[in-house]
Amino acid sequence: MLELHGITSGYGAFTALWDVSIRVEKGEAVAVVGPNGAGKTTLMRVISGLLPARSGQLVFEGRDLSGEKAYDVVAHGIAHVPEGRRIFPALTVGENLKMGAFIPAARTHYRESLERVYTLFPALAESSRCSRWAVPSCRGPSSSSSTSHQWAWPP
Ligand X SMILES: Nc1ncnc2c1ncn2[C@@H]1O[C@H](COP(=O)(O)OP(=O)(O)OP(=O)(O)O)[C@@H](O)[C@H]1O
Shortest distance (Å) from residue 10 CB to ligand X: 7
Residues in the chain: 155
| 41 binds Mg ion, rule: CB under 5 A | yes
Shortest distance (Å) from residue 45 CB to ligand X: 7
**What are the contacts of 35-40 at 24+ separation with CB within 8 A?**
none
| 20 binds ligand X, rule: CB under 6 A | no
| 34 binds ligand X, rule: CB under 6 A | yes
Half-sphere exposure of residue 153, counting CA atoms within 13 Å on the CB side? 14
- Please work out the total of residues on this chain that contact ligand X, with binding judged by CB under 6 A: 11
Cα-trace Rg, the chain: 18
14 binds, among ligand X, Mg ion, none (CB under 5 to 8 A by kind): ligand X
Q: What is the amino acid identity at position 27? A: G
| 38 binds ligand X, rule: CB under 6 A | yes
Count of other CB atoms within 10 angstroms of residue 89: 16
Task: Using DSSP, state whether 8 is helix, strand or coil.
Answer: strand
| 14 binds ligand X, rule: CB under 6 A | yes
Interface ranges with ligand X (CB under 6 A): 11, 14, 16, 34, 36-42
